[in-house]
Each structure stands twice: as structure tokens, then as C-alpha cells.
Amino acid sequence: MNKIGYSLSTGRLSWENLRRKPFRSACLIIVVSILAFTLFGGSILVSSLQNGLTSMTKRFGADMMVVPAGNASKAEAVLLRGEPNFFYFDESLVTRIAQTEGITQVSAQCFLTSLSTECCDDLVQLIAFDPATDFVIQPWIAEVRSAAIADGQLVVGSRIEINSDGSIKLFNRNYPVAAQLSRTAAGFDTSIFMTRNTMDLLIDAAHKEGYAFIADREPKGSISAILARVDSKADAESIARSIKRNNQNVDVLVSQGILAGITGALQGLVVYINSFSIILWVVAVVILTAVFSGSVNERKKEFAVLRILGATRRKLALIVLSESALAGLAGSLAGIAAAGLVVFPFSTYIGLRLGLPYIQPGFGGVLGLILFSLVLSFAAGPLAAVYSAMRIGGAEAYFTMREGE
Amino acid sequence: MLLEIKELTKEYKRNGAPFSAVKDVRLSLDTRDFVSVIGRSGSGKTTLLSMTAGLLKPTGGSVTLEGRNIFDLKDEELSFVRNARVGYIPQGMSLLPNLTALDNVRLPFYLSKREGDAAAKALSLLDQVGISHLALIYPKQLSGGEQRRVSIARALINDPAILIADEPTGDLDADTTAEIMKLFGRIAQNGTAILLVTHEPDTISYGNRVYVMNAGTLTGKTETG
């Protein structure tokens, strides 16, 4: 580039001032980039957790879940964290639960776990539902597949890897995958769904292949959970207590209770992240104000010279504001890029570490959060410089030039 | 008349008592005039120049430049007058440290809207003051005399009607002082009026009129050329 072929615009003057003071400029940029990193990283985190909770609430479907006594925590782990497990009780309980006052709909499910070496890195949860009564899994399948799934077909969660021929090997046999479900951030993402008939076929086939299921009862003909909906006017908690009272050998999980725990944890985290972001923003503005104030004070004579040369008060203010805007923009972009390098590649790890449902927003959502973080962190610079800009515009060049004489 | 100063006064309070830094000064300059004001430190010379350039508001009196009292102007208008019609050389080092010599010289060109090749003009001015080879050097690498030459070139970039210089040779050696004063002489001959204040008697021979400033009052007009 021609070394003299540029005009000395306000932006150019500000750029030269930043370029010729690399340490001061680097400090300004680092403060803004830490702010942008926190705002963008924090907002992605909050948004992902809120998405996760929304999805989980939507997918939970039932108001309560009845499981064999002593298995409540295992069932919760299956639902929330996808930790595979199995437990069984007698199918006859479905009728008894359905007859409980306040219960409007019931459907049984049966759980099984795969072998670790077959389709996935870890064990996966196999969940069988009854197509005639199911009100949880089928509406969800309908979102990705219009036809009902036939016996012998599987529907898999979003994190299950499917073979190139569209099948999954379970207990040494291949089964066709009819559909893959959208992400929920819950245990459903590492689960495989099938009709009860398919699971019975799968169990028979497994027996023929020489596999035995270690449980206190044979899974075929048994069930693992009864999902129930309660009347909108009824109180789920009191119905759960009633079921427990009348059936000694069951535990009852109430959706509101499970989700309330997650919502509470999530709200705590969101409040923490938001408070931290606000405090950091205020601290960044205070630090930047001090830095700009000190810098302008140090350069008073420089600004007085500009006044002598014919710069208006407005021009001086623009130079200071434009310097802060350039530093703010550079810091914001650097901070957002750095946060992006952390939150996107490590989203699965972050979700696992948090132990909460975590679904990152889509492209539009991410773009919105980038803009939000960019505007807030960028604004910190010029906002911090306003005081200095006003002060320098009001200074009398004559007195400034004579200071120290 | 290019510049007409009438009853210009600047009063301050010192220990509660009024004190006149400049008192009832009358002075006029026309094109090609080279006026020197000599006086001791604290006699009010810089205050007089600052008011003449519109950098300081007087307590009384007027400064009329090209027919307009500059104190009737708004900040935007006065800034434009200072940028376009007045070339001011402040006392001491006054270059912007983050800009090269060339950028310092052409900076005033960009402070108002105007057309033209500022870089070529700045290079030509640096050539006239004998330091075009230092165009891309930053101020801290320049000597005091070189910095002063850059300041002079900067004051001339917008073809001002009047050049105001505050102690332009105050910290320079005798040879450099003589060179700078000769340069002012050439500038005046080319049509730019010069108003210069100094406390060095050796420099007054370069102008065509000399005034003495004492305790804020301008006296002792002497025609020298």
C-alpha cells in the first residue's frame, strides 16, 4: 500500500492512535474481549439450557411414571441422562393403575439394554411401547415419519449411529431403522424405540443366538414402566400417593417433580450467568472509563493542538469515540470468536458436565446471540469514552497548552 | 485591513484582586506585514496571541479578521476560521506523536472539507522548510529545530491569511533561529501576514514592525523594514 496515499479521516487518526500505543490498545481490546466472551458464551449456555428444558418438557408426555419399587432413581436416570437400565414388574398392574381415580390414560413400556459392542460406543436403552395405548412416543415419531412404525422396525434417538445400510445390529441381528428422532437433550437421544411386538421378537432372536438376560424375571411378558396421564383438574401428587398406598411394590415419579428439580437447577444457573454477565459489563465499563479518562488526560496537549489547528469540539469527541469504537469492535469480535471456539466444538461435553438438558440454538438463534453479544460488548467502549469525549471537548486549548509552564 | 485588534483586554482574578494579563491592546496587520512583539516572560504575549487566534475569549475588545469579529462566531465557524485562515505555531513542541512528519503537516487539511492532494502539498512544504527527507519520520525521532520546521509547514498547509507564531525560536540554537527567521521573512514576502511574539531581541530585525509588550500593554512601535 502507498505509504502516504490515505486521507487522515477521524477513523484513520483513531487507528493511528491505537496502533502507536500497542500496550494500551491491547489492554482495551482484552477487557472488551473478556466481556464479549462471557456475554456470548453465557448467552449460548443459557439459551441451550432453556432449549433443552423446553424440549424435555415437550417430550416427557406423561404426568407420572409407575416403576417397580426401588427403581425410581434408575428410571429418572433413564429419562434424564440416558443411563441404560432395566427392571420389571407384572403386566397386570396396568389395569389396576388405569382404574385409579383421576387417571385418564395409561400405557406400558418395557426396557432392555443393548450390548456395548454392537451399535454404539456404550450401552443403549431399548424402549418398547404399546402402539394401541401409547401417547408419548408415537406423537413424537409422527413429527419425522407420517406412517406408523411396523413390527420389526426401529426408531432411534438423535445420538444413535445408524449403519450405512440403514440398520442397527442388536444381539447379533440387523434391524431396519424407520426413523431418527430430533434431539431432546434427554435420555431419549441415546435410546432405541420399538413396538412391544418388536421387542418380543428381538428377545426371542437373542435367545436363539444364545444371549440370556440377567434380571429377576424374564422381560418377555413383563413391563418396566406404566406411563399415566391424570385428569387436568386432579392433583398428580395426591394420585401418586394414592397409587403408592394401594400398591406396595411400586414407586411413582411425578413429571412436575422431576422437571421442577431441573427447572430449579436451570434457573439457578441462569440467574448466576446473567448476574455475572451484568456485573462484568458494569466492571468493564468502569475499567474502560478509567482507561479512556487516563488516556485523554495524558493526551490533553495533543487535543489542544488539534483545537488550535481548527478541529471542532465535535471532531475531538468523535476521535475519542471512534478510538473506543475500534477497540470495542476488535475486542467484541475476538471475544465472540474465542467463545465460539469453546462452546461449539465442546457442546456435548458442556452438556454432560452440566448434567442438565442442553440443546444449542439453531443458526438463526446463534446469529441473534452473536448480534446481542456484539452490540452489548461493543457499546461498552463508546459508552465508557463518552465522559472523556465530553471533557476533552470542553477543555480550553489555551489553558491546556500553558499547563506546566 | 486583514486583522484589526481593538481595545483587547483579558482580566483574571489573582488572590481575589483583578489582574489584567492583556490591557486595551490595539494592533492591525495587513497582507505581507511581519510584526514582532517582544516582551519578557509573563508580559501577556501568549495571551494576546491566543485571543487573536480565537483560542481564548477576551474580557473586552474585539479581534476582526477579514471583516468579521471572530468572537461573534460559533464554535464550528471559529474552528473553520482557525483551520482555513490562521496558521498557528504554538510555543514548544506541538506535533502529534502518533503521526509522521508528513501526516502532522497535512492534518489541518483534513479538519475541514476541501479538495486537493494534501500529501503532495505537504511534501512540497516540507521541501520548502528543508526536511522533505524526514517526511515519514515520527516526531520523537526529530530534533527541536526539525520539529519546529514541521510545525511551520503545518501552519502553512491551508494557505492561511495570517501566520501566528508563539516563541518559534525559543529553544533553538542561533544558527537554526536565523534559518527559521529567514523562512518567516520569505513567507511574509509571499503574501502571508506574520504576527510573532518573542523574548529574543536578535529576532526582531527580521520583521518590518516591532512592538514591546509590558505588563499586558502594547507599546513602542518601531518600523524596521
Which DSSP string corresponds to A137-181? HHHHHHTT-SSPPPTT-EEE-TTPPPPTTSEEEETTEEEEEEEEP
Measured between beta carbons, the chain A residues lying within 8 angstroms of B135 are 4
CA separation for the pair B119, B136 (Å, rounded): 11
Assigned C-alpha cell, A364: 438463526
Residue A65 lies in a domain: no
Mean pLDDT of A196-224: 81
Q: Are A220 and A168 in the same domain?
A: yes
A382-386, B6-10, B75-79, range with the lowest pLDDT: A382-386
Q: Is residue A63 part of a domain?
A: no
Residues of B in contact with A308 (CB under 8 A): 53, 55, 82, 88, 90, 94
A305 vs B47, B56, B94: nearest CB: B94
pLDDT tops 80 at residue A80: no
- Pick from A4, A16, A310: which is nearest to B98 by CB? A16
Of B90, B99, B112, the CB nearest to A310: B112
pLDDT at A1: 42
Cβ atoms of residues A39 and A33 within 8 Å: no
> CB-CB: which of B56, B103, B123 is closest to A396?
B56
The 10 Å Cβ neighbour count of residue B175 is: 9
Say how far apart CA A243 and CA A329 lie, in whole Å.
Answer: 61
A327 and A386 housed in the same domain: yes
Instruction: Identify the closest residue of chain B to A304 by CA–CA distance.
Output: B94
Count of domains for chain A: 2
Same-domain check for residues A140 and A239 = yes
Q: Say if A60 falls within a structural domain.
A: no
Q: Which residues of A16-37 are buried (b: 16+ CB within 10 A; e: fewer)?
A: bbbeebeebbeebbebbbbbbb
Strand order in the sheet with A167-170: A167-170, A173-180, A154-156, A191-195, A125-129, A103-113, A225-230, A64-68, A250-254
Instruction: Please report whether residue A256 resides in a domain.
Output: no
If interface means Cβ-Cβ distance under 8 Å, which residues of chain B face chain A? 46-47, 50, 53, 55-56, 75-76, 79-84, 88, 90-91, 94-99, 102-103, 106-112, 118-119, 123, 135-136, 138, 154
Kindly tell me the sign of the dihedral angle through the C-alpha atoms of A368, A370, A376, A378: negative
With beta carbons less than 8 A apart as the criterion, state whether A109 and A127 touch.
yes
Q: Which range, of A222-226, A357-361, B56-60, averages the lowest pLDDT?
A: A357-361
> Hey, is the C-beta of A21 within 8 angstroms of any chain B C-beta?
yes
Strand partners, B9: B60
A155 and A77 inside one domain: yes
Chain B contact probe: residue of A4, A7, A25 with most B CBs at under 10 A: A4
Return mean pLDDT, chain B.
90
The residue among A115 and B47 whose pLDDT is bigger is B47
Give domain status of residue A105, yes or no. yes
Interface-testing mutation among A20, A301, A308, A314, with chain B (most B C-beta atoms within 10 A): A308
Is the pLDDT at B220 greater than 60, yes or no? yes
pLDDT in tens, A222-276: 899 999 999 988 898 999 999 999 888 899 999 877 777 777 877 888 888 889 8
Q: Which of B90, B118, B154 sits opposite A401 (nearest CB)?
A: B90
Cα-only R_g, chain B: 17
The mean pLDDT value for A282-304 works out to 85
User: Are the beta carbons of A54 and A186 closer than 8 angstroms?
Assistant: no
Residues 306-345 of A with CB under 8 A from B: 306-315
Q: Which residues of A touch B109 (CB under 8 A)?
A: 8
Kindly state whether residues A229 and A81 are assigned to the same domain: yes
For residue A297, the distance in angstroms to the closest alpha carbon of chain B comes to 15
Mean pLDDT of chain A: 85
pLDDT above 90 (res A53): no
For the segment A354-364, the average pLDDT, to the nearest whole number, is 82
pLDDT at B62 over 90: yes
| Residue A320 to residue A393: CA distance in whole angstroms | 10
A208 touching B (Cβ < 8 Å): no
Q: Is residue A46 included in any domain, yes or no?
A: yes
Across A145-159, A211-225, B21-35, least confident range = A211-225
Per mean pLDDT, which of A178-192, A262-276, A285-299, A335-349 is the most reliable?
A335-349
Q: How far apart are CA B177 and CA B29, in angstroms?
A: 24
A88 in helix, strand or coil? coil
Flag whether the ipTM exceeds 0.95: no
Question: Residues B209, B222: contact at Cβ < 8 Å?
Answer: yes
- The verdict on A283 and A391 lying in the same domain is yes
Contact B94 A5 (CB under 8 A): no
- pLDDT beyond 70 at A215: no
Phi, psi of A64 (to 5 degrees): -155, 165
Q: How far apart are CA B174 and CA B166, in angstroms?
A: 17
> Residue B212: its pLDDT value, please?
92
Q: Measured between CB atoms, which of B50, B95, B103 is closest to A398?
A: B50
For residues B123 and B132, give the distance between their C-alpha atoms in angstroms, rounded to a whole number.
6
Structural element, H or E, at residue A253: strand A250-254
Residue A14 has pLDDT above 70, yes or no: yes
Buried-state track A258-291, b at ≥16 Cβ within 10 A, e below 16? bbeebeeebeeebeebeeebeebbeebbebbbeb
Q: Are residues A235 and A283 in the same domain?
A: no
What is the reported pLDDT for B225? 58
CA A72 to chain centre: 26
Mean pLDDT of A89-101: 90
For residue B223, pLDDT beyond 70: no
Helix (H, G, I), strand (E, B) or coil at A315: helix
Rounded (10°) CA dihedral A263, A266, A268, A273:
-150
Cell numbers for A174, please give them: 440387523
pLDDT, residue B106, reads 95
Least confident of A311-315, A391-395, B26-30, B80-84: A391-395
Partner-chain contact A309 B56, CB within 8 Å:
no
Indicate whether A388 belongs to any domain. Answer: yes
Contact status of A395 with chain B (Cβ, < 8 Å): no
Q: Per the CB < 8 Å rule, is B111 touching A309?
A: yes
Highest average pLDDT, of A38-47, A344-353, B133-142, B202-211, comes from B133-142
Q: Which of A5-14, A110-119, B10-19 has the lowest mean pLDDT?
A: A110-119
Smallest Cβ distance to A8: which of B46, B90, B106?
B106
Query: What is this structure's pTM?
Result: 0.72
Which chain A residues touch B123 with a CB distance below 8 Å? 4
**Mean pLDDT lowest among A117-121, A243-247, A262-266, B42-46:** A117-121
Is A8 in contact with B96 (Cβ distance < 8 A)?
no
Domain boundary among A195, A215, A248: A248
- Tell me which residue in B55, B107, B135 faces A8 most closely, judged by beta carbons: B107
Inside any domain, residue A62: no
Q: What pLDDT is recorded for position A74?
A: 87
Q: What is the dihedral of CA A285, A286, A292, A294, to 10 degrees?
A: -170
Residues 6+ apart with CB under 8 A from A115: A123, A170, A171, A211
Cβ of B56 within 8 Å of Cβ of A398? The answer is yes
- A315 contact residues in B (CB cutoff 8 A): 79, 111
Q: Would strands B3-14 and B17-29 be described as parallel, antiparallel, or unpaired? A: antiparallel
- Distance (Å, whole) CA B153 – CA B147: 10
Q: Which of A248, A283, A314 is the last residue of a domain?
A: A248
Same domain assignment for residues A272 and A387: yes
Do A83 and A181 sit in the same domain of this protein? yes
Report, as an integer, the average pLDDT of A11-26. Answer: 89
Whether residue A120 sits in one domain with residue A79:
yes
HEC-encoded secondary structure of A347-369: HHHHHHHHCCCCCCCCHHHHHHH
Domain end residue (candidates: A248, A273, A298): A248
pLDDT score of A124 more than 80: yes
Q: Which residue of chain A has the CA closest to B75?
A: A312
Domain range enclosing A356: 2-55+262-402
**Any B CB within 8 A of A210 CB:** no
Q: Determine contact, residues A56/A354, Cβ cutoff 8 Å.
A: no
Asked if residue A380 and residue A344 are part of one domain, the reply reads yes
Q: Mind listing the pLDDT tens digit for each residue in A279-292?
A: 988 888 888 888 88
- Burial group, residue A154, by CB count within 10 angstroms (0-12, 13-18, 19+): buried
Do residue A293 and residue A321 come from a single domain? yes
User: Pick the residue with more confidence: A116 or A55?
Assistant: A55
Weakest mean pLDDT among A128-137, B170-179, B192-201:
B170-179
More confident position, A394 or B115: B115
